Amino acid sequence: MNAAPPPTSRDVARLAGVSQATVSYVLTGKGSISPATRERVLEAAGSIGYRPNLAARSMRTRRSGRLAVITGVSAADHQMRMIVGASQVANDSGYVMETSSVDGTVKDRTERVIDLAAGGQYEGILTLVPVLPEALSDVDGRSPVMAATAFDEQMHSAGELADASLLEVFVRALVEAGHRRFMHIGGPEEYSSARARRATYLACVEQLGVESLGVLGGEWAAEPARQAVLALPDHARPVAVIAANDLLAVGALRGAAERGWSVPDDLVVTGWDNSAFGAYTMPSLTTVDLDFQAAGRHAMQLLVAALRGEEPPARGSALQRIVWRESTGGAAPPA
């Protein structure tokens, strides 16, 4: 396919009238090279479009320069956004980033990740899907594995996507608006974000002394949310539903509409994620906007810092922000 073989560092050396070692020193910035020589080499390299052969470099340095990002098979829009952010950081840091998707149960996924880590092809691994803590250790002889969303009790979770503290703002504002009866529709237990939202909900209703009709759901799917609302006793109105994401919230809206309940009069709903459709449902969804791309960037920064033994970078601006819309009626942000 390639007519002429691509230029090598030897070609550059010959053209610049120096040795191959000098070319290498210039390009890696390691030796101390006189500005004049440096200039000549750079120009020669540019003129013939030289690009280092990464395979050769990696073989010699015994560093692959490659990072893996593990995604789930159940495609989620925010995984994609995190990938975009992570890949920016990886490339800027001189790594090539590969994505690998894993399927099956938590157990299956954990094994795949351990396999990948043991394979030694990658200098580091960032997983966007939950895996068991055993995959996250960075024992010798394996690529370090870091999780963006994981069992955070292991202290291995990167990023603050799982931060559920804004949920308290929802509950407080709704209590302020007069609501006394709440319900939570949660996501899968294996997601630390889902667990955090559930825990924050429970702590909140407890602390504020309002009634909780329970915690339903357990999947990132609309149907259980719809069912939960349909199963509510008629005299329960008004109910405030705190859903773990926007898809669940849409299911709740649908359930309310099917039984003739008005939103926000009989039922108010909050979502999470600020999905594109949420501003256009009837009524539109109050939700939490998450900057997944920034989260992906930060997660990758943490991995790269760990790899290089550098100080982990501080979290930049806030990743989360509440978007108040129609589904919560007049409930307003508390100042």
Partner DNA sequence: CTGAAAGCGCTTACAG
By CB under 8 A, the residues from 266 to 295 that bind a second copy are 275-277, 279-282, 284, 292-293
Cα–Cα distance measured from residue 193 to residue 109, given in angstroms and rounded to the nearest whole number:
18
Amino acid at 30: K
The residues in 36-75 that bind DNA, with binding defined as CB under 7 A, are 36-38, 50, 52-53, 56-57, 59-62
Distance from C-alpha of 154 to C-alpha of 147, rounded to nearest angstrom = 10
Distance of CA 169 to the CA centre of its chain: 23
Binder to a second copy among 21, 73, 202, 318 (CB under 8 A)?
Answer: 73
Cis-peptide, bond into residue 283, ω within 30° of zero: yes
With CB under 7 A as the contact rule, which of the stretches 9-17, 92-100, 198-206, 252-260 interacts with DNA? 9-17
If phi > 0 it is left, if psi is from -120 to 50 it is alpha, else beta; for residue 68 that is: beta
What is the C-alpha to C-alpha distance for residues 65 and 57, in angstroms, rounded to an integer?
Answer: 9
3-state SS class at 3 = coil
Within positions 39 to 68, which residues make up the interface with a second copy, using CB under 8 A?
49, 51, 53-56, 58-59, 64
Closer residue to a second copy (CB): 27 or 208 = 27
Which residues 207-226 are close enough to bind a second copy by CB under 8 A? 221-222, 226
Residue in 32, 140, 209, 314 binding a second copy, rule: CB under 8 A: 140
137 binds a second copy (CB under 8 A): no
Residues 146, 137, 118: CA angle, nearest 5 degrees? 90
Residue 224 Cα distances to 73, 231, 333, angstroms: 21, 10, 29
Q: For residue 128, which phi and psi values (nearest 5 degrees)? A: -95, -10
Q: Is position 5 an interface residue for DNA (rule: CB under 7 A)? A: yes
Q: Which does 20 bind (CB under 5 to 8 A by kind): DNA, a second copy, none?
A: DNA
Q: Does 94 bind a second copy (CB under 8 A)?
A: no
Determine if 306 is a binding residue for a second copy (CB under 8 A).
no
Q: Considering beta carbons, is residue 28 or 53 the nearer one to a second copy?
A: 53
Part of the chain binding DNA (CB under 7 A), chosen from 26-34, 124-132, 257-265, 281-289 = 26-34
* Amino acid at site 16: A
Q: Is residue 313 near a second copy by the rule CB under 8 A?
A: no
Asked if 96 touches DNA (CB under 7 A), the answer is: no
- Say which entry of DNA, a second copy, none residue 312 contacts (CB below 5 to 8 A, set by partner kind): none
Q: Is 171 in the site for a second copy (CB under 8 A)?
A: no
H or E element at residue 59: helix 54-61
How is residue 305 written in tokens? Answer: 């810092």
Q: How many Å apart are CA 57 and CA 96, to the nearest integer?
A: 13
Using CB under 7 A as the criterion, which residues of the chain lie in contact with DNA when the complex forms? 5, 8-10, 17-25, 27-28, 30-34, 36-38, 50, 52-53, 56-57, 59-62
